[in-house]
Chains A and B, each alone.
Chain A
Amino acid sequence: GAVVSQHPSWVICKSGTSVKIECRSLDFQATTMFWYRQFPKQSLMLMATSNEGSKATYEQGVEKDKFLINHASLTLSTLTVTSAHPEDSSFYICSAEKGGTNQPQHFGDGTRLSIL
């Protein structure tokens, strides 16, 4: 159990376009999901916490108008990178928390975004 799916796994776009990434918890409900970004040879950096039915909480330095997060249901959160530029090229990873005490987060397999 505790499977998290991301889509797409890989996307290449032209500069200036917007890209939507989906994160789904397949076999559990997740009131909270997290979005991370990972640049080559670096560790994961938390971008934002996505809460079902409310606004996301962004980490310091992450532009909320550029990285739009929507968590409309207990099994789906989306991250939209608006007006993407080459510097936004990265590996974007989501995680979902099953809820309740003593439950770990489970991660998706990531989305590799390349902006030309």
Chain B
Amino acid sequence: DAKTTQPPSMDCAEGRAANLPCNHSTISGNEYVYWYRQIHSQGPQYIIHGLKNNETNEMASLIITEDRKSSTLILPHATLRDTAVYYCIVANTGTASKLTFGTGTRLQVTL
């Protein structure tokens, strides 16, 4: 699976948009970009995933560059409850797709 690079930490003011970048320059054509987050002492929570088109759901938006070498997760109105470690992972989809977790980005949302 392709490796990802994320900044180790970011701060965001409550109510503002949080934009979390991810580089995945070695992504292959059949690999998706997945985003998960982990709040302290809990299991990872699925946020969103995409192949090449931008995606949006009730939690976030995912913007993937045209060359697919990077992406940005956008939390439109961050709240204190969004404080967590955010993981960007690239992997194949389908049965038995392994997810390789990197170190992620620790997002701290402040008042």
One of A12-20, A61-69, A72-80, A106-114 contacting the partner: A106-114
Q: State in angstroms the CA–CA spacing of A44 and B89 once bound together.
A: 12
The residue on A at minimum CB distance from B43 is A107
The residue on B at minimum CB distance from A104 is B46
Chain A nearest CB: distance from B70 CB in Å? 20
The residue on B at minimum CB distance from A42 is B103
Question: Are A108 and B100 touching (Cβ within 8 A)?
Answer: no
Question: Are A110 and B93 touching (Cβ within 8 A)?
Answer: no
Inter-chain contacts of B41 with A (CB < 8 A):
91, 110, 112
Question: Are A108 and B43 touching (Cβ within 8 A)?
Answer: yes
A interface: dominant SS: strand
Q: State in angstroms the CA–CA spacing of A99 and B97 once bound together.
A: 10
Count, chain A residues at interface, CB 8 A: 30
- Tell whether A93 pairs with B104 under 8 Å between CB atoms, given A34-B98, A99-B95: no
Question: Are B93 and A51 touching (Cβ within 8 A)?
Answer: no
B111 at the interface (CB under 8 A from A): no
Neighbour of A101 across the interface among B36, B43, B94, B103, CB < 8 A:
B94
Interface centre among A32, A105, A109 (most CB of B within 10 A): A105
Neighbour of A97 across the interface among B36, B43, B95, B104, CB < 8 A:
B95
Question: Are B44 and A107 touching (Cβ within 8 A)?
Answer: yes
Inter-chain contacts of A107 with B (CB < 8 A):
36, 43-46
The residue on A at minimum CB distance from B32 is A102
Interface centre among B43, B46, B97 (most CB of A within 10 A): B43
Inter-chain contacts of A46 with B (CB < 8 A):
98-100
- Tell whether A93 pairs with B43 under 8 Å between CB atoms, given A104-B34, A104-B49: yes
18 further A-B pairs in the complex, CB-CB below 8 A; given A34-B99, A49-B96, A93-B43: A4-B43, A31-B95, A32-B96, A44-B38, A45-B101, A46-B99, A46-B100, A95-B44, A95-B99, A97-B97, A100-B94, A101-B93, A102-B94, A104-B49, A105-B97, A107-B36, A107-B46, A109-B42
Residues of B in contact with A (beta carbons under 8 Å apart): 32, 34, 36, 38, 41-46, 49, 87, 93-104
